[in-house]
Amino acid sequence: MVVGCTLIFAMTENVLECAAVAGPFGMEDGHIPDASITVSSQFSNSLAPTRVRLNSQAESGTSGWCKGNLEIRRSGNQEVDPWIQVDLGFTSIITSVITQGYGDTSWVASFKVAYSGDGQEWTAVTNNGSSFPVNYDSNTQVTTSFPRAFQARFLRIVPTACTDDTQCICMRFEVVGCCACRCPVRRVPFITHV
């Protein structure tokens, strides 16, 4: 019988380094096509997924994607876990997102993130187990850096809180990172105790 024994394993893990070459993927400038942006629901055609692009503006001065639809809101029902996702078109290293509100009194105050290589199986990214706090007004751009860069083709944002009691979840965003082909991988040693 062994008593009081501690096993120590020295291992390495891959760390994706993208900071030197990271940049916007093209939500704002249109490099990501409209067909690559999908949603669980939308409030109306004027608040469609194509309006989610950072700094997008409609003639009214406000713009963004808003979840749900008028009939659902009038019925008093709420959509559970609305989401918006983008297909980057190729495997990428994602480091952060830049978010903005709708341009009036609506913005997302916190969200969860998930990523996927195939659009079917999703992995959650958390902020120490909880949602990421983001915007505090409707126009300021807020950059949310993830604890670790991750490799994916699809990124899904799931808003978890908004600014008002009408549950008007509306937002605009940009994805930041680099093509996986341009990001070096560094092996970093770490020690774990068992």
Average per-residue pLDDT for the chain: 76
The reported pLDDT for the residue numbered 86 is 96
Question: Which tokens belong to 141?
Answer: 């751009």
Per-residue pLDDT of 26-55, as tens digits, reads 999 999 999 999 888 767 666 666 777 888
Assigned token pair, 111: 């969200």
Q: Is residue 142 part of a domain?
A: yes
pLDDT, tens only, 63-102? 777 776 544 555 555 556 788 899 999 999 999 999 988 7
- 1 lies in some domain: no
Q: Is residue 107 part of a domain?
A: yes
Higher per-residue pLDDT: 75 or 150: 150
CA distance to 32, 34, 47, 63, 182, per residue, from 37 (Å)? 8, 6, 13, 16, 24
**Between 19 and 152, where is the model more confident?**
152
Number of domains in the chain: 1
In a domain, 143, yes or no: yes
* Residue 167 included in any domain: yes
pTM (two decimals): 0.77
What per-residue string of b and e applies to 156-186 under the rule 16 or more CB within 10 Å gives b? Answer: bbbbbebbeeebbbbbbbbbbbbebeebeee
Q: What is the CATH number of the domain that holds 75?
A: 2.60.120.260
> For residues 172, 176, 179 and 180, what is the CA-based torsion angle, rounded to 10 degrees?
-120
Asked whether residue 116 is assigned to any structural domain, the reply reads yes
**What's the whole-number mean pLDDT along residues 147-161?**
91
Task: Please report, rounded to a whole number, the percentage of residues in the chain having pLDDT higher than 70.
Answer: 66
Number of helical H runs and strand E runs in the chain: 1, 11
Q: Residue 110 is part of which domain span?
A: 8-193
Read off the pLDDT of each residue in 8-33 and give the average, rounded to a whole number: 70
